Amino acid sequence: MSTDFTQEQLAFAQAVAAFGSKEAGTREQRDALTENGTHTHNQALYEKMAALGWLGVTVPEEFGGADGSTVDMCILLEQSAKAMAPIGGIGPTLITGAAYSKFGSPAQKESVLGGIVAGRSYSISMSEPEAGSDVGNLSCRAEKTDGGWVINGQKTWCSNAHFADRILLVARTGRGGGKHEGLTMFDVPADVDGLSIVGIGTMGGKEVNDLYFTDCVLPEDSVIGVEGQGWSQLMTGLNIERLILAAMMLGTAQRAFDDTLEFITQRKQFGRPVGTFQALRHRIADLATEIECGRLLVYHVARLVDENPTTLFPREASMAKLKLTETAKKVALEGMQMMGGYGYATEFDMEKHVRTTLVSSIYGGTNEIQRDIIGKTYGL
Ligand SMILES: Cc1cc2nc3c(=O)[nH]c(=O)nc-3n(C[C@H](O)[C@H](O)[C@H](O)COP(=O)(O)OP(=O)(O)OC[C@H]3O[C@@H](n4cnc5c(N)ncnc54)[C@H](O)[C@@H]3O)c2cc1C
């Protein structure tokens, strides 16, 4: 754990860890909370965290939040991921909340930021079947009508829309000179007429959805921020989005490491714990070193963002996302190998860590795209 935390931050980390251990510490508890792993989010558990005042960690005080720092947010995400607390709503909710916080009208802020504090979930929908990495090329359309907007088109891969309260939709309101012009953010109630939400089957259970908009009518005041400025508004959220994903993968990497260490310390072959064979001991040393490097990077970037809230850190934020997702994936895969057949068995959590971490290099901008962004900051 970073030694640069304040006493308050250390206490916060310990409180989240203790909560996770009490509520989701055993496999039986986690199975009960997730219907045997088919769901990523348990609303009752999430509301308990809301009642403790944790979900509004970065929400301003005027909306009932704790007005905490980006470091505080990363502590919450790292510790809850490490505890395997099934609160899949938290990542997209905090990403979405940051956009409402910056660009929302007073009424939108009241509703969404207040909702985050109370334990409601929110989704963000940019991706489309033909606009994934090239998301600026999206074509879901919002037409202005008398007193409102009509949305038509398909979105895909929308995390948590099946239990979200509202969805931050990015749609095309115009075609300017470039593809990034003419995009607008909209505030969409998840139960609005004209929107159909259909789950996509994945290795992770019920998590992502296709969204079909058919003549879906939204009121005029549904625009978040400025019409036509959706792309530049999205760009201002990238520091936070990448840090959120990195912090969650830091927690998952640490958990996969801890689970591996526990197993290889107990498992004996040839009359000794398998962890004492140099082949495994050295891998543990390498993984521990990588996790510590990743932890330093996450909290370094979080502090940069706290100290410079209006500055974009494309290089550092992408490095954090890249490094922590690759590290988490590596720890889980190595953990599975070091546990032998037991790592592959559903009785143990390692196969879940593998599934959780595999996809982390795809969502939130693939790691190929993160490498591209980092490379561009070196003038390439
Ligand atoms: C579990 C999950 C949750 C998600 N949640 C959300 C969400 O809540 N909201 C949302 O809007 N989206 C979400 N997404 C979508 C996600 O952001 C996209 O899947 C991702 O951006 C990649 O798009 P794609 O899947 O269409 O792949 P593609 O863009 O088709 O890419 C295919 C491959 O080509 C590579 N590639 C593409 N372009 C380049 C390039 N220029 N240079 C080098 N390599 C390139 C990619 O890295 C990838 O390996 C989610 C996805 C998943 C799997």
| pLDDT tens-place string over residues 329-338 | 999 999 999 9
Q: What tens digit of pLDDT does each residue of 146-188 get?
A: 999 999 999 999 999 999 999 999 999 998 778 899 999 999 9
- How many percent of the chain have pLDDT more than 90? 97
State if residue 366 touches ligand 1 by the CB under 6 angstroms criterion: yes
Q: What tens digit of pLDDT does each residue of 8-26 get?
A: 999 999 999 999 999 999 9
CA 371 – ligand 1 centroid, Å: 14
Which residue among 127, 168, 252 is best mutated to probe the pocket of ligand 1, counting the most ligand atoms within 8 A of its Cβ?
127
CA 131 – ligand 1 centroid, Å: 8
| Residue with CA at minimum distance from ligand 1 atom 13 | 157
Predicted local distance difference test score (pLDDT) of residue 2: 55
State if residue 368 touches ligand 1 by the CB under 6 angstroms criterion: yes
Three-state SS annotation for the chain: CCCCCCHHHHHHHHHHHHHHHHHHCCHHHHHHHHCCCCECECHHHHHHHHHCCCCCCCCCHHHCCCCCCHHHHHHHHHHHHHCCCCECCHHHHHHHHHHHHHHCCHHHHHHHHHHHHHCCCEEEECCECCECCCHHHCCCEEEEECCEEEEEEEEEEEECCCCCCEEEEEEECCCCCCCCCCEEEEEEECCCCCEEEEEECCCCCECEEEEEEEEEEEEHHHEECCCCEHHHHHHCCHHHHHHHHHHHHHHHHHHHHHHHHHHHHHCEECCEEHHHCHHHHHHHHHHHHHHHHHHHHHHHHHHHHHHCCCCCCHHHHHHHHHHHHHHHHHHHHHHHHHCCHHHHCCCCCHHHHHHHHHHHHCCCCCHHHHHHHHHHHCCC
Which residues are registered as beta bridge partners of 211? 155, 197
pTM for the full predicted model: 0.98
Q: What tens digit of pLDDT does each residue of 189-209 get?
A: 999 999 999 999 999 999 999
- How many percent of the chain have pLDDT more than 70? 99
State if residue 164 touches ligand 1 by the CB under 6 angstroms criterion: no
Domain boundaries, the chain: 7-120, 124-230, 237-376
Q: Which atom of ligand 1 is nearest to the CA of 135?
A: 21
Mean pLDDT of the chain: 97
Q: 341-352 b/e with 16+ CB inside 10 Å = b?
A: eebeeeebbbbb
CATH of the domain spanning 7-120: 1.10.540.10
Predicted local distance difference test score (pLDDT) of residue 219: 98
CA 130 – ligand 1 centroid, Å: 10
Predicted local distance difference test score (pLDDT) of residue 179: 87
In the predicted model, what is the mean pLDDT of residues 134-144? 97
Predicted local distance difference test score (pLDDT) of residue 3: 61
Predicted local distance difference test score (pLDDT) of residue 1: 54
CA 366 – ligand 1 centroid, Å: 5
Give just the sign of the alpha carbon dihedral 202, 204, 206, 211: negative
State if residue 89 touches ligand 1 by the CB under 6 angstroms criterion: no
CATH of the domain spanning 237-376: 1.20.140.10
Q: What tens digit of pLDDT does each residue of 241-297 get?
A: 999 999 999 999 999 999 999 999 999 999 999 999 999 999 999 999 999 999 999
Closest Cα to residue 243, out of 95, 28, 61?
A: 95
Could you tell me the pLDDT band of residue 372, with boundaries at 50, 70 and 90? very high
Predicted local distance difference test score (pLDDT) of residue 145: 96
Q: What tens digit of pLDDT does each residue of 29-50 get?
A: 999 999 999 999 999 999 999 9
Whether domain 124-230 has CATH 2.40.110.10: the reply is: yes
Predicted local distance difference test score (pLDDT) of residue 68: 97
Residue 380 to residue 315: CA distance in whole angstroms: 13
Predicted local distance difference test score (pLDDT) of residue 4: 86
